[in-house]
Chain A
Amino acid sequence: MSDPTSPELRAIKNLKQIAREEFILPGTAICGGCGGLAALRLAAKVLGPKTVFVNAAGCFTLLATFPYTPFKGSWLYTTMASAAAGAQGVRDALDVLIARGKVAAADDVEVVVVAGDGSTYDMALSATSGAIFRGLDFWYFCYDNESYGNTGMQMSSATPYGARTLTTPVGEHARAGTEHGKKDLFEIWRAHRPAYLATVSPRFPIDLTNKFLKAKQLRGPKLFIAHAPCPTGWLYDPELTADYARLAVETGIFALKEAVDGVVTHTYVPRRHRPVEEYLRGQGRYRHLFEPVRNEEAIHKIQEQVDRYWANVHETTGAAR
């Protein structure tokens, strides 16, 4: 937790207030055009150098592969199910060492879990629930590429309805590919009443930066779900990553929001949502919804889910349209 009165934590208003210093250096083995890395890089600019990243197995374990690391701080690798438990261990160890005077309080670091959706939504749900329940003072950054990406794009419970993955191929009995709907992790986490919870997008850097700045003033679990367009798994050209990040928000598929002590605010409400088709079309993982024949039913179903979500938002918040 940083001093909330510090001017460095004031919300920013334009791009040029984003830090110029880098805290995740180039030269990693991550794919070119990775949306998750774009989001993490911006987050790291707020977190600064005094961090220890606790990283569950997934694409981002490739950030630090022997003998290279892009981090200016520390990094610890854990199994897929236990990053939050690892964070607890690191936090506890730091607290003990500080209490015994073996580490100066000024040398304390932020403990930041970095994990994919397969880890976060599936395998680590329980360990993370425990850490939030215990009120652990830590950060959690889930880069959601909506699949088990590192192993070649298998379905996770974050994979949206209609997306094709290796384990949910399109077939006679599964014309939409993935037939399940995406798990609502935001609501699952919110039910724990963490100190801070937010969704972020790499294409909305000011919104992202301000959310991290706000969280920096709070003690307790600070949880983030980052929309992470993935050219390799979603099958589109890497230069389009920011486009798909933008379209996800403008179509209303990905809602930018935060919850402080459980109270939800939508931080960006598009005046008029674009049709979901603009986001789906062009991504290889959704191509079967458009070719060789259009799957009207599936496209309609996706649109309906989005419309229902926002109708509910407007109803419960009375938000001005």
Chain B
Amino acid sequence: MLRIRFHGRGGQGMKTASRILGSAAFRAGFCVQDSPVYGAERRGAPMAAFTRIDRVQIRERGAIVRPDLVVVADDTLLTDPAAQPLAGCDAESTVLVNSTRDEAALRQEVPAYTGRLLTADFTAVALATTHALASLSTALGVAAACLVGLSLADSLAGLDDELTESHMSMAQKEANRQLAQTVYAQASSWAPVREREDSRIAETAPLVEVTFDPPRLAGPSIYAVGNSPQRRTGNWRQFRPVLQVERCTRCWICFVRCPEAAISLDAQEYPVVDYDECKGCLLCVHECPTHAFTVEKEVR
């Protein structure tokens, strides 16, 4: 059995990537299982999806704890405690990271990891072909399909299964097929992920024993007020709004319209973006009448 775990942020399409891989393997005649973690989380918040592929019926269920391949949608997730994409990885694992940085730079962030680490800037490839960030799911789903040794034809068939159900325009669907071919060609240079010797041995996640605590302690009651900024949703951001002060007329529009309260006004009434919290929805950029914000891709 091959176990593949996808890590992304809500909206990056990793659930779809997992499905593309699953459908491709199914088209190739394998038994497949794919499922996202259902969390009450949102666009931008860390999420995971699991794909299992085998020649025989799969009885294992739940989260994948010892993955053969981990696909990471952006490198900010590597050190995010809410994501922990490298959990359970070992020397035999392969980790594929979508990043603008090279392997050496990424390894510095995760020094304890000893397995294979592959990296490529799939976002750039996706944007160049489809002009849509959402197509990252196509890129990473197909890259994973190639890495587990599926053929281009099966990968495209798997992609088509997913595209049929999507709300995309015809032109976008075609662009996604082109993107799949480009990515497949690129990923072919990597040696495929191999099945582990003991791959059929069922994984067991450790049981957590819940101790009894009084409700005031064990219940999810929050006694603090206004502490949500500690969550630092700024790391959800893929693009950053940057104010070009000389173009700003101090009209307050961005301040009033930012849904997050991530913009405040300074003493001179110039807007100040709180980058610890701004989720990067870019509404302020779109709404500013004088186009005073520019957009920069986050590089962390």
Contact = CB atoms under 8 A, between A and B. Distances in A.
A284 interface: yes
A241 B259 contact: yes
A308 interface: no
Contact of B286 (A69, A75, A240): A240
Interface stretch (A27-35, A91-99, A190-198): A27-35
A15 interface: yes
B44 to A, nearest CB: 5
A10 interface: no
A284 B281 CA distance: 18
B257 A239 contact: no
Nearest to A77: B220
A256 to B, nearest CB: 17
A65 B281 contact: no
A62 B44 CA distance: 14
Interface in B252-296: 252-253, 255-262, 264-265, 274, 277-283, 285-287
Interface stretch (A16-24, A119-127, A178-186): A16-24
A232 interface: yes
Interface string A63-84: 1111111111101000000000
Interface stretch (B192-200, B205-213, B226-234): B226-234
Given A25-B261, A26-B262, A26-B277, A61 B40 contact: yes
A26 B285 contact: no
Nearest to A59: B42
B222 interface: yes
A205 interface: yes
A235 interface: yes
Interface stretch (A36-44, A128-136, A247-255, A269-277): A36-44
A25 B232 CA distance: 11
Contacts of B261: 22, 24-26, 41
Contact of A65 (B40, B44, B169): B40
Interface size class of B (residues with CB under 8 A): 35 or more
Contacts of A22: 261, 264
A71 B57 CA distance: 49
Contact of A32 (B170, B255, B264, B281): B281
Contact of A287 (B169, B231, B260): B169
B222 A64 contact: yes
A202 B257 contact: yes
A124 B11 CA distance: 30
A243 interface: yes
Interface in A228-252: 231-232, 235, 237-243
Contacts of A7: none
Nearest to B239: A239
Contacts of B281: 32-33, 231, 238-239, 241
Contact of A37 (B251, B260, B282): B260
A150 interface: yes
Interface in B181-220: 220
A239 B226 contact: no
A292 interface: yes
A292 B109 CA distance: 47
A291 interface: yes
Contacts of B11: 31, 232
Interface in B19-65: 40-45
A164 interface: yes
Nearest to A240: B286
Interface of A: 15-16, 18, 20, 22, 24-35, 37-38, 41-42, 59, 61-73, 75, 150, 164, 202-203, 205, 231-232, 235, 237-243, 284-285, 287-288, 291-292
15 contacts: A20-B265, A27-B228, A30-B259, A31-B42, A31-B43, A32-B44, A33-B259, A68-B227, A72-B225, A205-B256, A232-B42, A232-B43, A238-B43, A238-B283, A239-B285
User: Which 10 A/B pairs are nearest by Cβ-Cβ distance?
Assistant: A32-B279, A33-B281, A32-B281, A27-B228, A26-B277, A38-B259, A66-B220, A238-B281, A70-B228, A239-B282
Interface of B: 10-11, 40-45, 167, 169-170, 220-222, 224-233, 236, 251-253, 255-262, 264-265, 274, 277-283, 285-287
